[in-house]
Amino acid sequence: MQHATNIKRTAALLLSIIALIAMKPPSIQAAYVPTTTTMKLGLFYSSTALPSANLQNVSGYGSGFEFGYYDSNRDFISTGAWTGENAISMVIDRNMTWHPGTGGGSGEYREGTEGPTVLGCFHIMLDAYYETFEQAKAAAEPYNESYVKYESGRFYVMMSNYATRADAESAISSRGLTGCVVNAGTSNTIAIVKTGTNQIVFEFDFGDARNLGVRPRKIDNERPETWFKGYRYCGGFQYAREEGELLAVINYVDIEEYVKGVIPYEMNNAWPMEALKAQACCARTFASSGQGSHNSYGFDLCVTEHCQVYRGRGSANARTDQAVEETEGMYITYNGELCLTPYASSNGGASENCENVWFAALPYLRGVIDPYEADVASRIPNYNWTITYTPQEITQRLRNRGTNCSTIVSMEVSAYTPTGNVLAITLKDADGRSFTFSKREPIISALGVPTQRFNIGNTRYEATSVFANDPARIISGNSQFYAIDSSGSTTSVPTGALHAITDSGIEEIVIGSGASSGDDGMINGVFTIVGSGIGHLVGMSQWGAYSMAEYHDMSYVDIIKFYFTGVEIG
C-alpha cells in the first residue's frame, strides 16, 4: 500500500530548519506569503548522477522542448533555441554508445565506443558565430548533420560527431569546410540528442556560470508534462556536470504542482478529502520551510523520505489534485512565522514534544494524547509490535554500535515523557555498569525499535499524579474532574485525554507523571519490548488524520490544529 510511507525524517534536515524558526507566542496573523513559489527538487545527484538523462513529452501535454537556463530568481531564461523532437537525451559530451532498455526501460547512453550507435565527442565548428539561435539555425541548414551550439552567449554552427580527432580533421578536408575541430569532451559541455540515435540537435556550454535548462514547449494553454525515468513531471529541468563529470538533474516546478506530486506518495489517494487536505497543507509548509536545505547540492529538497516523497503525476488523481487546489496557498504558521510540519504514519497513541525526540524545542510541536488512532489500529500495518533479545543478542548489538559493555543483565525505561513516550532507557551489564540512551536516534540505535512508544518487560507507564504543563503544578489527587461552563454549572468529565487552559491562555495536555515497576525487562528469560506506532512521533499522525476525517467529521483545520499547537492556517 502506498499510504503513510513517510515514516522517517533525518534529524539533520529538521534541525537545520528548526534553527531558523523563533519561539514566539501565538497571535492571529495575515496569510503567509512565501518568498518564492518555485521549488528546486534534486532528482539525481552525487552518487546517483547520470551519464545521460532522457526526456519525452507526455502525449497531448506538450510538443518538443526549449533550451535556456534558470537565473537566480528561479526564472527560466530562454536562449531562443528549441527542438520539435518529442524524445531527447541530455548526454555528457564524451564518446558514448546507446544501450536500449530492457523490460520496457527507455535505455541510456554510456561512455565508450563499443556498440552500433556511437555518439562521438569530436565536432567541427565553423568559423562564424551568430547572435541568435534562428540566425545560426538558418546558416546550418545547407549542411548535412549540422546543429547549433550555444557557447557563452554566442551561437555556432557545428558539424556531425566523430570518435577521434583524426576522423574529424579528415572530414574538414574532404568536405571543404572552413572551421576547426573541437574536442567537446570538456567539463561543461552537454549534448542534446534525439534519443536512441547519434543525431545531435543542440549543444550547451556556458562554463561554470550557467547550467542547461530544458522545459517542454506548450501547445496552446495546456500544462505540459514530461516523462523522466518512468515518472510524469510538471515544470522544467536543469542539468549540471558535477565536478565536470556526470549529470545532476533538478526539477524546477511550482510549489502547488510539487505538492500534487507529493500527496499521492505520502498518503493513500483514496483517503478522506479532509485528511488529504491536511496532508497538502503539511507538505506545502514543510517544503517552503525547507527551501535551501540542500543548498550544497544546488537544490531545496530531495525526493525521498529524507525530505518528502515526490514522484510527479504518476499516482495523482482527481481527489489528490482537489485537496491541493482547495488549500492552494495555505501555509501553517505560528505568530506569522512558517512552521516546521513533520508527519509520520502513526504515533501509537500520543505524539511528542520535538525536544524529546530531536534537540531543539518549538512551541507548536507539543505532544498530544491521540485517541483517534485507536479507531483504526487494526488497519495500520505493524501498529502493535514486539521485539525480543536474549542477553547475548542485545550485548552484541550494543558492542557493534560502539558500547563497551559486558553481558547486559537488565533493561528498563528510566524516563517517560508526560504523554507516556520513552525519553530514556538504561541498560546494566554484569559488571554493574549502566548505559543510558536518550531521545530518538540513540534509543533506536540501541534497541532497533521503530518508535519511542513502548514498554520493556512487565513495566508499564502509570499516572501517579495529575498536573498541567509540568509535574510541579499538581491539580488534584482525585480521580474525577469537572468542567465549568459560562453559567457556573459543573459537569463531570472522564479522565484520559484531558486538556486545560493555562494562565497564558494556551491549551495544554492534562496528564500524569510517569512511573515504572522497575523489573529487569525480561519475560521468560528474554528482554521483551512491546510498543505501538511507526514513526518519529512529532507532528501529524497520518492514520490519526484519516480517523478524524472518516469517523469524527473533522476538517483539515481541526486536524492540523490538533497536532500543531497554537498555529494558524492561511
pLDDT of residue 220: 83
pLDDT at position 477 is 42
Which of 315-319, 426-430, 478-482 has the least mean pLDDT?
478-482
Supply the pLDDT for residue 499: 54
pLDDT of residue 1 exceeding 50: no
Average pLDDT over residues 370-390: 96
Residue 501: pLDDT band (50, 70, 90) is low
Is residue 500's pLDDT more than 70? no
Helix segments in 247-390, DSSP class H: 255-260, 263-266, 273-289, 318-325
**What integer pLDDT is reported at residue 515 of this predicted model?**
46
Question: Who's near 507: CB < 8 A, 6+ residues apart?
Answer: 499, 500, 501, 565, 566
pLDDT digits (tens, 9 = 90+) for 210-221: 999 999 998 888
How far is Cα 512 from Cα 474, in angstroms, rounded to an integer? 9
The string of pLDDT tens digits covering residues 64-87 is 999 999 999 999 999 999 999 999
Query: Quick one: pLDDT at residue 13?
Result: 47
Give pLDDT, residue 269: 95
- CA 493 – CA 530 distance, rounded (Å): 30
User: In the prediction, which pLDDT does 18 show?
Assistant: 43
pLDDT in tens, 307-352: 999 999 999 999 999 999 999 999 999 999 999 999 999 999 999 9
Does the pLDDT at position 12 exceed 50? no
Which of 402, 403, 444, 445 is CA-nearest to residue 422? 444
Q: pLDDT digits over 126-154, tens only? A: 999 999 999 999 999 999 999 999 999 99
Per-residue pLDDT at 493? 55
Q: Sketch the domain layout of the chain as residue ranges.
A: 4-40+269-361+534-570, 50-245, 384-462+514-532, 474-509
Q: What is the pLDDT of residue 551?
A: 97
Residue 4 has pLDDT above 70, yes or no: no
Decide: 564 and 541 in contact? Cβ < 8 Å: no
Q: Give me the pLDDT at residue 416, please.
A: 96
- pLDDT at position 483 is 64
**Between helices 391-400 and 440-447, what is the axis angle to 10°?**
130
Question: What is the Cα–Cα distance from 542 to 45, expressed in whole angstroms?
Answer: 30
Of 6-15, 206-215, 454-463, give the lowest mean pLDDT range. Answer: 6-15
Nearest to 42 by CA among 338, 258, 345, 281: 258
Output the average pLDDT for the chain.
88
Model pLDDT, residue 22: 34
Cα separations in angstroms, 443 against 48, 55, 144:
31, 44, 67
Q: How far is CA 235 from CA 39, 69, 120, 202, 259, in A?
A: 10, 13, 31, 20, 13
CA distances from 170 to 95, 114, 220, 230, 400 (A): 18, 22, 46, 41, 63
Summarize the confidence of residues 479-495 as an average pLDDT. Answer: 57
Banded pLDDT at 292 (limits 50, 70, 90):
confident
pLDDT at 20 over 70: no
- The three-state secondary structure class of 40 is strand
Q: What is residue 6's predicted lDDT score, i.e. its pLDDT?
A: 39
Environment class of 367 (CB within 10 Å of its CB; exposed 0-12, middle 13-18, buried 19+): buried
Rounded to whole angstroms, the Cα distance separating 123 from 285 reads: 48
Q: Which residues contact 330 (CB under 8 A, 6 or more apart)?
A: 31, 281, 284, 569, 570
pLDDT value, residue 378: 95
* Beta carbons within 8 Å of 338's beta carbon, 6+ residues apart: 21, 32, 34, 285, 288, 289, 331, 332
Query: What's the half-sphere exposure (Cβ side, CA atoms, 13 Å) at 370?
Result: 37
The Cα angle at residue 563 between residues 558 and 569, in degrees rounded to 5:
55
Task: Compare 356 and 492 and report the one with higher pLDDT.
Answer: 356
